[in-house]
C-alpha cells in the first residue's frame, strides 16, 4: 500500500496517525512486537528522535507498552475487574485471549503472633493457630498485571505447598480442597506504586494502581482468607452494569453506611 507524503504539521502527530491506522487495519496483533524506532525512522523518512517521540506518545496513550530489554509491543484489551462476583484470574485472562502464569515470590507458614494485626483479626486467628502467607505475581502474556499478598488459615488447607499455589487459587479451594466459597468483602482504592511494587510489576514508581483489600468467606461466612492485592492501573479497567436511579433516601443511606 502506497502512503501519501508527510506534510510539515507537525511530523510526529502525522506519524502517530499513520501508526494508529496500521493498528486499526490489523497489521499487528495484540501482544505482538511493534515497529522499532529505527524501522519507523526508515519507513517514514524521519529522524530517530521524531520516531522516538511518536512511539513514546503511543506508549503514554496506552496503545503500546514498552518492555525493558525487549522492545515495544501492541497492548491487548485491558482485563476487566468484576465487581459482582469472584472470578478466577486464570479464567479471566484466558477468556481475554491471554496466557496466564504465576510467579511465586514468597510462600511460608506463619504463627498467628507473627501475622499483622489486621490480617489476624480478619481471619479470627487465635494464639497457636497458623496461616499460610503467599506473595504471587500474576502475569498475562508474560506481562505482570497483579501483585497478590494473601493469608490463608492453615486449618482449611493442611499440608499446602508452594507448588499447590502456582495456578488458580479458586480452583484449588473449590475443586481440590472442596471448599464452598461464599464471596468476599472488598475495599478498593487508588494507590501509587511503591519502588518495590513497581519493580515487581514492571511499571514506573508512583504509577497509578488499584489496591484491593479483601476478606474471603466460606458459605457460612467464616473467614477464609485475607488479602492485599495490587492491580496495575494500565492493565485493568472496572466495568459494572448499573440499574435505574435509586430513590434519594436509599442513596443517602448507602453513603452513610460507607462513611
Whichever domain contains 40, its CATH number is: 1.10.10.10
Read off the pLDDT of residues 188-247 as tens digits, 9 standing for 90 and up: 999 999 999 999 998 889 999 999 999 999 999 999 999 999 998 877 776 666 667 665
Read off the pLDDT of residues 39-63 as tens digits, 9 standing for 90 and up: 999 998 889 988 888 888 888 777 7
Please tell me whether residues 140 and 203 are part of one structural domain: yes
Per the structure, the complete domain to which residue 49 belongs is given by: 11-74
Whichever domain contains 222, its CATH number is: 3.40.1410.10
Residue 247 falls inside a structural domain: no
Please tell me whether residues 110 and 228 are part of one structural domain: yes
Read off the pLDDT of residues 56-113 as tens digits, 9 standing for 90 and up: 888 877 778 887 788 888 876 666 555 555 677 777 777 777 788 999 999 999 999 9
- The tally of domains found in the chain comes to 2
Q: What is the pLDDT of residue 81?
A: 59
Residue 254: pLDDT over 70? no
| Long-range own/partner contacts, residues 158-164 (CB < 8 A, 24 or more apart) | 160/109, 160/132, 162/104, 162/107
CA 55 to chain centre: 24
* H helix intervals, 124-215: 169-171, 195-201
**Cα 189 to Cα 81: distance, rounded to the nearest angstrom:** 13
CA 57 to chain centre: 23
Please tell me whether residues 70 and 139 are part of one structural domain: no
For the chain, the average pLDDT equals 84
User: What is each CA distance from 238 to 78, 80, 211, 231, in whole angstroms?
Assistant: 10, 6, 13, 11
3-state secondary structure 24-86: HCCCCCCCCECCCHHHHHHHHCCCHHHHHHHHHHHHHCCCEEEECCCEEEECCCCEEEECCCC
Amino acid at each position: 500500500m502506497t502512503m501519501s507524503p508527510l506534510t510539515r504539521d507537525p511530523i510526529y502527530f502525522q506519524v502517530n496517525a499513520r501508526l494508529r491506522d496500521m493498528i486499526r487495519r490489523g497489521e499487528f496483533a495484540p501482544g505482538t512486537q511493534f515497529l522499532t524506532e529505527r524501522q519507523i525512522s526508515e519507513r517514514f523518512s524521519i529522524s530517530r528522535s521524531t520516531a522516538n517521540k511518536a512511539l513514546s506518545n503511543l506508549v503514554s496513550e496506552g496503545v503500546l507498552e514498552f518492555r525493558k530489554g525487549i522492545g515495544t509491543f501492541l497492548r491487548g484489551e485491558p482485563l476487566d475487574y468484576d465487581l459482582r462476583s469472584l472470578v478466577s484470574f486464570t479464567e479471566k485472562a484466558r477468556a481475554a485471549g491471554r496466557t496466564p502464569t504465576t510467579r511465586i515470590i514468597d510462600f511460608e507458614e506463619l504463627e498467628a503472633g507473627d501475622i499483622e494485626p489486621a490480617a489476624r483479626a480478619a481471619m479470627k486467628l487465635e494464639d497457636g493457630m497458623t496461616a499460610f502467607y503467599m506473595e504471587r505475581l500474576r502475569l498475562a502474556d508474560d506481562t505482570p498485571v497483579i501483585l497478590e499478598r494473601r493469608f490463608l488459615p492453615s486449618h482449611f488447607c493442611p499440608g499446602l505447598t508452594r507448588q499447590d499455589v502456582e495456578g488458580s487459587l479458586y480452583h484449588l479451594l473449590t475443586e481440590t480442597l472442596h471448599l464452598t466459597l461464599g464471596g468476599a468483602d472488598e475495599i478498593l482504592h487508588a494507590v501509587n506504586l511503591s519502588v518495590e511494587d513497581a519493580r515487581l510489576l514492571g511499571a514506573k514508581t508512583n504509577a497509578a494502581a488499584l489496591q484491593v483489600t479483601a476478606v474471603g468467606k466460606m458459605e457460612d461466612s467464616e473467614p477464609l482468607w485475607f488479602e492485599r492485592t495490587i492491580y496495575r492501573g494500565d492493565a485493568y479497567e472496572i466495568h459494572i452494569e448499573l440499574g435505574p436511579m435509586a430513590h434519594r433516601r436509599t442513596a443517602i443511606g448507602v453513603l452513610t453506611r460507607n462513611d
